[in-house]
Amino acid sequence: MSAGAEKRAPKRLVRTTLSGQIAEGIRASILDGTFALGSQLNEMELASTFGVSRGPVREALQRLIQEGLLRSEPHRGVFVPELSPADLLDIYFVRRSLELVAMRRIMEKQDRRAVVADLSAITEQMKDALKREDWLRIADLDMQFHRRMVDEARSDRLSRSFATLQAETRLCLQMLMGGYKENALLVEEHECLARLIDEGKVDPALAELERHFGDPVRTLERANALRNKEKLDAEAA
């Protein structure tokens, strides 16, 4: 490597790190509803908010577009995609199908200690987040839990298929966030899944996973009801 190349490397690393930090900030704002579904993101306003030039913001937006968390529309701009209840049902239909396949593969394994240890560690983190009522952290750990299950199936194609749904699932979580706040049993459900995997109980584990997914539309209705209540309370205050 030439001396000139060595000098350029640190700059490239800093720029990537900065755009990554901005992408993480925008991602969090999408998940917590600061950037609502369907809202447009302005590059100049974001640069001002983060106190940076437009270059790293543009890189961050492109990263999130590639992830599927944002959508670029020619001659219009960059938007947070909107999801309908039908989209919600379809996303969870595919997720359920993939995870049930993964669960069957996991239960065929003789040694499941590693995945059980990882899943149990995630549920402990969920307990801590629940004490703090950190719903965004719980949502993130929920995603980690299910991704760890799918990856344990040791199928690259299955993992890639699941990965393509992750961005849309994160958008679903914004829609369902109120449902998270009302679901006190969420951590217990994940603990139960980890325990059934540890015990090797195939049919109960599959049944619990089916039940765990529940009815996303009903969860959405609860989330909308809670958001409306919070809005009315804020207006009355």
Pairwise CA distance, residues 183 & 189, whole Å:
10
Pairwise CA distance, residues 154 & 39, whole Å:
38
In the chain, what percentage of residues exceed pLDDT 90? 50
pLDDT single digits (tens) 89-130: 888 899 999 999 999 999 999 999 999 999 999 999 999 998
Q: In this model, does residue 216 exceed pLDDT 60?
A: yes
Say if CB 122 and CB 170 are below 8 A apart.
no
Burial 101-113 (b: 16+ CB within 10 A, else e): ebbebbbeeeebe
The Cα-based distances of 42 to 26, 45, 53, 136, 160 in angstroms read: 12, 5, 13, 24, 31
Burial 87-99 (b: 16+ CB within 10 A, else e): ebeebbebbeebb
Q: What is the residue type of 124? A: E
User: Coil, helix or strand for 123?
Assistant: helix
Which strands make up the sheet holding 71-73, listed edge to edge? 40-41, 77-79, 71-73
Mean of the per-residue pLDDT values for the chain? 84
Give the pair of three-digit tokens for residue 3. Answer: 């001396």
pTM of the complete model: 0.72
Q: At what angle do helices 135-152 and 85-107 cross, to 10 degrees?
A: 50
Give the pLDDT score at 16.
54
Q: In this model, does residue 5 exceed pLDDT 50?
A: no
Q: In this model, does residue 7 exceed pLDDT 70?
A: no
pLDDT single digits (tens) 18-54: 998 999 899 888 877 788 888 999 999 999 999 999 9
The Cα-based distances of 32 to 92, 126, 133, 221, 233 in angstroms read: 20, 17, 13, 18, 19
pLDDT, mean of residues 133-145: 86
C-alpha 9 chain-centroid distance: 32
Q: In this model, does residue 228 exceed pLDDT 90?
A: no
Name the pLDDT band for 214 (thresholds 50, 70, 90). Answer: confident
Give the pLDDT score at 223.
62
More confident residue, 187 or 155: 155
pLDDT, mean of residues 159-173: 85
- Complete domains list, the chain, with CATH: 3-79 (1.10.10.10), 85-236 (1.20.120.530)
Give the pLDDT score at 200.
94
Nearest-CA neighbor of 87 among 38, 35, 27, 30? Answer: 38
Pairwise CA distance, residues 99 & 87, whole Å:
18
Nearest-CA neighbor of 194 among 160, 235, 146, 134? Answer: 146
Q: In this model, does residue 73 exceed pLDDT 90?
A: yes
Name the pLDDT band for 15 (thresholds 50, 70, 90). Answer: very low
